[in-house]
Structure 1
Amino acid sequence: MGCFPCFDTKEEGKLNPVKESDGRKQGQPMVPSAISGLPSGADRLKSRSNAASKGELPGPKDGPGIHPGVHIAAQTFTFRELAAATMNFRPESFIGEGGFGRVYKGRLETTGQIVAVKQLDRNGLQGNREFLVEVLMLSLLHHPNLVNLIGYCADGDQRLLVYEFMPLGSLEDHLHDLPPDKEPLDWNTRMKIAAGAAKGLEYLHDKANPPVIYRDFKSSNILLDEGYQPKLSDFGLAKLGPVGDKSHVSTRVMGTYGYCAPEYAMTGQLTVKSDVYSFGVVFLELITGRKAIDGTRPHGEQNLVAWARPLFNDRRKFSKLADPWLQGRYPIRGLYQALAVASMCIQEQAATRPLIGDVVTALSYLANQAYDPKTASGHSHKGSGDRDERRNRDDRGGRISKNEESGGSGRRWDFEGSEKDDSPKETAKMLNRDLIRERAVAEAKMWGENWREKRRQSAQGSFDGNNG
């Protein structure tokens, strides 16, 4: 699905200039509010100076909107160079298409590097502003979970972006409409992808100064490197977040249907919590294997969030939310915990959603709990797995949850529940309670601490038994 303007279709003005703050955290990447004066590939050919060869942007005197000392390190390419790299954009090089335009696989003649070349659709909805924002964002923001921008072309009316090539395609390619010969993602890989994508958002929200709101988080924008390392791509719709005492930024509504947070779609008021909602939708896609919007499904199941929400209220129906392609190969407790995180992210009220940093903490724990279907007890979708998991948990000496004597906040992030908590009412309380940041962080940390403590006690017990 491409991007769409829900309301106003006129172009936005340039981003407001942002003054440097003396109190910003050291090491945070400063994001200028606008970009102009991009050198073209032809400019680079005219001057072979060191600055030109590095593709640096001109200083402030050459164009407004660039902070002093900020340089764009992306290379500049001529259209001829990129045409040669992609064999004149022939169909054999075509690898995908999005809201920006068509993407081709290519090889740079100068270095031999394999790249992905995205060519702006001059008749598309996204225009020059989105191209400039993408160059700016990906040139100044660097993280293992953000795609690496190698360079760009701005010759005449041609607008192209050159990225590192991601050999495994997008997350969407591995979740939906799988060909018969393609293996579905296993549980461990899904949790790894979710945790990595959340870390990319955390970098944008918490490390960039001012924060960056991604605004188009969806499965097709999560690209996969070797080893299923996820990287966020397509930053053309990214916006600088609120600064100072402002709670939000107001903008025309842009995004992809099915992923937009409800308050943003209705009011145009954008916050980092809007991204958290979109993340929750993608996480639900990972858990369920369903599309955010699927017109081929029966009425009432076409919208993923609308279909899933009632099932959150009855723990006995949780197994219905697991992707059938997993064929029951997932940890019961891990499924409950993943559903709890997804449920909190897609809360209708933005204030009740967790911050992305808390989501990262929780998902990092889940991703580190490797599930081995060969050693795990088998279970089916009829509920026998639920009983098996409880029995196995009892054999290990109880469930992994917060120690009642350890103090902390009164209410718990108790994802496991107990056998007496199977009622819809208790399950709804378990999943839909209003969480605050401090409690979420403390509880997520407690998972790991209790798990390690039980492992230590178990190992100690085995040692004592062997030496008794």
Structure 2
Amino acid sequence: MMRRPTLNQYITKLRPVLPSFLPIHPIFKTRCPLFLLIFKPSSSLILFCFVSSSYFKPILYTHTDAHIYISIFLFPCFPINLIILDKNMMKHSKDVAYLFIISILCTSTVVLGIVLTLILLCKKKPVQTQETPPQTKPTAQVYPLTDIDLATDGFNPRRIVGEGRLGTVYAAIFEKGEIVAVKRIHSRHVLSNAGFGFCRILRSISLAQHPNIVPIIGYSEGPGERIIVMEFVGMVCLDYYLHQNPDGASLLDWNHRLKIAAGAAKGLEYLHEVVAPNIIHGCVKATNILIDVNFCARVCDYGLSFLAPQEKRGLLGYVDDEYWGGGGGGGEGGGACKENDVYGFGVVLLEILSGRLCEDGRLVNWSLPLIKEKRFSEFLDPRLVIPSDIMPLVRLAKVASACVGNSRKSRPSIGQVATILSNLEMD
């Protein structure tokens, strides 16, 4: 009987014809299944099959001119390996057929397993997030009238910290030491809006929470009384800095004025476009913009125009002609609207730039020609030195002109205004 050549003899005989970069590993010693790619030495790939390394027999391919068979072992974590197979083992056709069927079945099983594994690996894993309960927005607290009366010392005149077209503001101190601002609505407005849904509206607008607005924290009502409880911020209004304080000009330089304008625009943008439902201020003017010690602007008295929709006192000059139901100009009827808030904010910008009072609308008529003709030396506040880089002020003036000089349909939104102002800086 002819003795079968040993593996070392095969390797010795094969080595001269192998490329130097192909290492030869004794994989036959392993007991794990192997993936084999069977190649015809002179041509291309014939079959991808699966055999056991513990039982080597040639599969599918017999090279009649050689006594050796070459297979290339490929696996992601191993280098290329050469396996030497004996031609003499091909003599038994039954064994060949058996191994062929087994190889096909095993190969199909393994390939299917690989495909399924890749599908599972590639499938996007669901993002595991901790379920957090939705944040509950604070709602307005209902205060008994007796508590309000006690906190304001019976609405003592010495507690008055401000007064406007809608009511009088008192500093109130509750039993636990909490300091709040209490706005007592004028009786004439209470009587004219007796069934207007005061509580419902206050609950809605109290949802607004933003660094550039003064939050409403509660309310109270009774026969002939409507009370709004707000956060006590201890501030003075923009109107005081611009027009009443003798040192206001020195306190509000151009940098501070730009900062205040940008902050107020952000507060209005939040009311118009972020909080749900959106809130229309109804009376945007310098007295409704408070300034804190860091010169941060905070908008107050928003959403209260329903209390005095047609009272001109304190409103004339800060609303357009359409507000009074005049029609024309592309408006959507009279009353408060977002476009009218933009108009009022434009008037505030004119006051910031010129240092002049609104004067029932005369400020707009005086400012627009100067801005159009670029006569900024006449337009800007004479109490301040005109900066060397005047472009931020020019852009601010153009924004103000767009707010007050166009019809409602042509005015910019407060979001557009806020975006422009947030990019203005002074050297």
2:359 partner amino acid: I
Aligned to 2:353: 287
Aligned to 2:133: none
Tell me the percent identity.
Answer: 39
Aligned to 1:215: 282
- Deviation digits for residues 306-357 of structure 1 (CA, Å, limit 9, x no counterpart): 0011112222x11211112223357411211111111111123222221211
Query: Mind listing any 5+ residue stretches in structure 1 that lack a counterpart?
Result: 1-69, 240-250, 295-301, 372-468
What is the aligned residue count? Answer: 281
Maintained 8 Å contact 2:249/2:383: no
Aligned to 2:291: 224
1:291 partner amino acid: L
Aligned to 2:322: 263
Maintained 8 Å contact 2:205/2:303: no
Partner SS for 2:187 = coil
Change (3 A) 1:88 1:201: same
Deviation at residue 96 of structure 1 after TM alignment: 1.0
Change (3 A) 1:134 1:173: farther
Deviation at residue 219 of structure 1 after TM alignment: 0.9
Partner SS for 1:162 = strand
Aligned to 1:118: 183
Q: 1:336 aligns with which of 377, 382, 394?
A: 394
Q: Report 1:157-168 matches (<5 A).
A: 157-168=224-235
Alpha-carbon separation, structure 1, partners of 2:291 and 2:198: 22
- Deviation digits for residues 439-459 of structure 1 (CA, Å, limit 9, x no counterpart): xxxxxxxxxxxxxxxxxxxxx
Maintained 8 Å contact 1:133/1:238: no
Q: 2:170 aligns with which of 104, 107, 131?
A: 104
- Deviation digits for residues 62-106 of structure 1 (CA, Å, limit 9, x no counterpart): xxxxxxxx9872222222322232232222211111122111112
| Two-structure CA RMSD over aligned residues (Å) | 2.9
Query: Mind listing any 5+ residue stretches in structure 2 that lack a counterpart?
Result: 1-135, 328-332
2:183 partner amino acid: K
Q: 1:87 aligns with which of 145, 153, 175?
A: 153
Deviation at residue 272 of structure 1 after TM alignment: 2.1
- Deviation digits for residues 195-218 of structure 1 (CA, Å, limit 9, x no counterpart): 111112211222244533222111
Normalised by the size of structure 2, how large is the TM-score?
0.60
Q: Report 1:42-441 matches (<5 A).
A: 73-110=139-176, 112-124=177-189, 127-128=193-194, 129=196, 131-132=198-199, 135-179=202-246, 183-238=250-305, 256-265=315-324, 266-267=326-327, 268-269=333-334, 271-293=337-359, 303-315=362-374, 317-328=375-386, 331-366=389-424, 369-371=425-427
Alpha-carbon separation, structure 1, partners of 2:380 and 2:213: 28
Alpha-carbon separation, structure 2, partners of 1:219 and 1:130: 28
Partner SS for 2:206 = helix
Q: Report 1:3-18 matches (<5 A).
A: none
Alpha-carbon separation, structure 1, partners of 2:277 and 2:201: 16
Alpha-carbon separation, structure 1, partners of 2:305 and 2:275: 12
Alpha-carbon separation, structure 2, partners of 1:310 and 1:341: 14
Partner SS for 1:228 = coil
1:88 partner amino acid: G
Partner SS for 2:294 = helix
Aligned to 1:405: none
Maintained 8 Å contact 1:166/1:224: no
Change (3 A) 1:100 1:330: farther
Change (3 A) 1:290 1:330: farther
Maintained 8 Å contact 2:282/2:337: no
Alpha-carbon separation, structure 2, partners of 1:231 and 1:310: 31
Deviation at residue 155 of structure 1 after TM alignment: 3.5
Alpha-carbon separation, structure 2, partners of 1:181 and 1:288: 13
Deviation at residue 225 of structure 1 after TM alignment: 3.0
Deviation at residue 181 of structure 1 after TM alignment: 8.2
Maintained 8 Å contact 1:167/1:226: no
Change (3 A) 1:102 1:253: closer
Maintained 8 Å contact 2:208/2:215: no
2:266 partner amino acid: K
Partner SS for 1:323 = coil
